[in-house]
Structure 1
C-alpha cells in the first residue's frame, strides 16, 4: 500500500471506524507488572543513512497469563544523536486503529529528531494486529472490505436494511474466525504493551506523541500510568467519553465534515483555480450544492470509474470527500473527481472516466479490515436498536447532508459480543505534563470534540488551537507556530501558561 493510500485510508477510518477484548483490568495489570521485561535485539533497518534499527517485542496474548502464548510486535527506533543531552525515549503513536508506528517513524523520524534536537531515542511500534506485528483475520467478504461498504453509508433513500445485514455478516465472520488474537485487540492491551515496551527499553518514564486514535491511547496510558510519563503530546484528540468511545467519534464526524468543507469550497472557488482548470464555482457558497447535486444523481445512476468493477455512486463520491478533507493536498484530485462524474463523455471515453482516491479503488486487506473493526468494537458496547439507528440516520441526513446519515448508522459493533473490560475514564488526576494541539477545522476529530478531552484533563493539560483545517497537526500541516510550540515543549518542557492559539499558516 502506498504511503498516501495508507494515510488516507487510516485517516478516513479513524473517525468512523466499524465494528472483543476480554481481559479484566486489575488481574491483567498485576500480572503484567510482575512479568520479566523482554529483551530487544536490534538490527539495522529502514532507509539508508537514517540510523534506524528494528526489533521484535514479545507480548502476552492474554496478560492474565504473561508467560503463556506470546504475540510479536514490530518495533523500530532512531537513537539519540546527543548522548550527553539525552532526555529519554519519545514514543510516536499513529492513528487508526490500524496505523503503523514503524511506518510513522520511518516517515517522520528524521524531522522529529531535528525538531527535538536529537535529545530522544525515537521509538515506534506496530500495535498488535497491525503491519509487521501478529495479525488477526476475520475473513470478511471482499465486497464488505471496500471502504464504502466497510463504512455504513445508508441507501439513497436513507434506508439502512443493507447496513443491518452487512453488520451482522461482518460480526458473524469475526466471531467465527477471529479467535483469541482478535479478542486481544483493545486499547487497554495497547496500553499494557506500551508499558511492557517501556520496561524493555529500560526507561523509568517515557514521552509520547500520539495522533488521532494514538492521542486517545496516549491519554489512556497517562491515566493508567501517570508517574511513568515524562512529556505527553495529544495531537488531534476525540471525545474520550468512556460510555461511547469510537461510537462517539463516529457521530462527531458529521460536524467535523461540516466544519471543514468551507476550506475546500474556498479553494475550489478561488481565481487561482482558473489556470489549473479546477475552479468549480465563482463563489465559495456555490460549491456545496455543486457537490450535493451530482451525489444525488449518482445515487440513482452511477457512472463507471477508471477502476474496473468500481462504479461511482453517490456514496462513493461522499466517501471520496471525507477522505480528501483530511489534507489540502487532496483538494485537486477531489475537484477533478467532481468534474469527471458530470462529464457526459466519460460514459463512452475510458480516458475521461473518474479517478478515485486510492483508498476507494480497491478493497482493504482482510487484516486491515479486521484491526479497524476489532479494536473499536472490543473497547466498548455500542448502543442503539435498529429502529433507533433508523431514526437517528433520518435526523442526521437532514442536519448534515454532506455525510448523509453515515455517522449515526449501525455498524458490526451492534452485533459484537459484550466487552468484559470497561474503558478507563480520563480525569484531571495526575501530573501536569500534557500538551494538546488541535486544528480548528478537523473533519475526523472536530475541535469541539478535542475540547471534551481538554475538559476531562483539567489542569493536567494545555491546548494549542491551530486556525487551520485537516486532520493531524504537528509536523503535518505546515503551521510553524504549532510545530514550534510542540517542539519547544518536547525539548524543554515549556508549555503555554494557558490555552493558546496559532493563526493560519496562509
Structure 2
C-alpha cells in the first residue's frame, strides 16, 4: 500500500509511546480525564452553514454535549452519510477535547490530525502535552476527531485479524507472471471484502467528506474560523478544507505535505524516492556507528538491504509470532519502513537487522512491523488504518487494474529508488479493483482568500518528500514555508527549537513565519 498513510500516524504514536503514554482506548471508561473534572458546557451559539449549503443547517446548528472521558472530554458530532442527501442517513463522528491549561487566556480550539489516512485524531489529541508546544497547549483546547470510517467513527473493517496478517505478509514486489496474478487476486479479494463489510459508508469516506465534517465540527465548537494542525495526510485534509472553505481558515499549519494535485503514480514515485533517501541516511549512520550488519559502505549497505529483502521473499525467517510464524518480505519491509519515520529508531533497526542476518531471528524486525501496523505482539490490531487507508485513497485517487502499468512503473521507480521502487510501484493495485468509483480529483489548490497558512517541510522526510512542501507552498495564494534540514517524518515538536518557536508564535502571537525560514 502507499506508505503515505500508515506511518503518518505511526510516527506520532511512536513518539507518544517513547514518552511512556498509555496506548489504551480513550472511550473504555478507564483512566483519568484531562483538564477540568466537570464536563464542559455545550458549545457556543449555533452557527449557520456556508452560502449554498443551507440544507445542512441542522448540522451546523448542533450543540456538542461533552462528557468526561479518559484523556479529556468526549462528544459525538452528527454529520450526513452523504452530503448529496443531507436529509438522509446520518453517522456519528467521535471527538475528544483536551481543554486549554490557561482558560482565562484561551484563544479557541485547535483541531489536529496526525495523518494516515486512518490515523486517530482522538489518540493524537490525547497526547496534547507532546504534540504542540507549551504556549499553544496553554491557550488552545486541543481537539481531535476520528474521521468517518476511522477508529471510533463508524470504522471500516474489511478483514479479520488473521486475514489482515495474511494480506500484509503477501509478496509486495511480484516479479514473475505467476506472482503478479497472485498479488492481483489478493488485491481484488481485499477490495471485495471491503465492499461486503463496509456497506454504504464505503462510498462516503473521501477526503472531501472528511473536510466537510471538519467545518461542521468548527461550527459545533463555536469557532468562527478553524485553527488546525495537520501532519502528513493531515496536510491533504487541511489543504482540501482550505480549498472548500478559504474564508474560515484560521491559524493553519501543514507539516509534511501531500499536495492534492499529485496523481497516485506521482505519490508512489515520490515516496519511493523519499524512502530511498531516508534509508541511505540510516545506512550512513549504520556505517558510522561501526559493525553494520549489511556492509561497510553506504552503497554496500543499500545493496545488502535489497539482498536481505530478496532473501526473505525466497526464504522467510522465524518471526517469533504465534500468528505470523514467518517474517516474509512484506512484513520485513514494513518493519524497515517503520524505522524510517524517526531517526530515534535507527539503532533499533540496526540491531533488528543484525539479529535477522546473523542469527535468522526475525523477532525484533517483526516488532517494528507491528508498530507500523498498529498490531500488538499477541496479534490484535488496535486500529483499522491498514484497511481504511485504501478506502480513502481509492476514493481520492483513481487507479487501474492493468498489470502492465504496474510493471512499467516498477521499472521506472527502480531506476531512481532501487530499494523501495518496486514496493511502492505495486502499492495501489487494490484501488484498481475498488468497488466504488473514485470521487476525488487531482487539482491544484490555491485557497485564494484564506488567512496565512504555514507549510513545513523536512529535507530527508521519507513519507512526504521535502519537494512536496515546496510545491504546495508555491501553489497556495497565502502561505509561508519553514524548512527543517533533518531526518524523519514531519518537524513540529520532534525536531528543534527553531521550528517549534516559529510555529508556537504563529499560533499564539499570530506572527507569520518569514517565508523561506530555514531551521
Both proteins in one fold, TM over 0.5? yes
Correspondence 1:444 to 2:470: no
Q: Which residue of 2 aligns with 1:19?
A: none
Q: Which residue of 1 aligns with 2:474?
A: 455
Instruction: Report the secondary structure of 1:203's partner residue.
Output: coil
Q: Which residue of 1 aligns with 2:67?
A: 43
Aligned positions of 1:482-493 closer than 5 A:
482-493=499-510
| Larger displacement relative to structure 2 (478-487 or 90-99) | 478-487
Structure 1: state its 5+ residue gaps: 1-5, 14-25
Cα distance change on mapping 1:175 and 1:117 into 2, 3 Å: closer
Q: Which residue of 2 aligns with 1:414?
A: 432
Cα pair 2:339 2:349 within 8 Å, conserved: yes
Q: Which residue of 1 aligns with 2:30?
A: none
Deviations 1:365-400 (A, max 9, x none): 794443222111112322472212122223323432
Deviations 1:266-287 (A, max 9, x none): 221224x66xxx6765444442
* Residues matched between the structures, number: 470
- Displacement of 1:30 in angstroms is 5.0
- Displacement of 1:68 in angstroms is 2.9
TM-score of the aligned structures, taking structure 2 as reference length = 0.82
Q: Which residue of 2 aligns with 1:213?
A: 233
Cα pair 2:480 2:513 within 8 Å, conserved: yes
RMSD: 3.2
Give the whole-Å Cα distance in 1 for the aligned partners of 2:89 and 2:236: 27
Give the whole-Å Cα distance in 2 for the aligned partners of 1:11 and 1:147: 19
Aligned positions of 1:33-432 closer than 5 A:
35-47=59-71, 52-109=72-129, 112=132, 114-116=134-136, 118-139=138-159, 142-145=162-165, 148-149=168-169, 153-155=172-174, 159-241=179-261, 244=263, 246-271=264-289, 281-308=295-322, 309-344=324-359, 346=360, 356-358=368-370, 359=372, 362=379, 364=381, 367-383=384-400, 385-409=402-426, 410-416=428-434, 417-420=436-439, 422=441, 425-427=444-446, 429-432=448-451
Give the whole-Å Cα distance in 1 for the aligned partners of 2:453 and 2:253: 6
Cα distance change on mapping 1:153 and 1:9 into 2, 3 Å: farther
Instruction: Report the secondary structure of 2:502's partner residue.
Output: helix
Cα distance change on mapping 1:365 and 1:397 into 2, 3 Å: farther
TM-score of the aligned structures, taking structure 1 as reference length = 0.84
Cα distance change on mapping 1:352 and 1:363 into 2, 3 Å: closer
Cα distance change on mapping 1:111 and 1:12 into 2, 3 Å: closer
Q: Which residue of 1 aligns with 2:36?
A: none
Structure 2: state its 5+ residue gaps: 13-49
Give the whole-Å Cα distance in 1 for the aligned partners of 2:163 and 2:232: 27
- Displacement of 1:87 in angstroms is 2.0
Cα distance change on mapping 1:113 and 1:474 into 2, 3 Å: closer
Give the whole-Å Cα distance in 1 for the aligned partners of 2:250 and 2:498: 23
Give the whole-Å Cα distance in 2 for the aligned partners of 1:379 and 1:315: 25
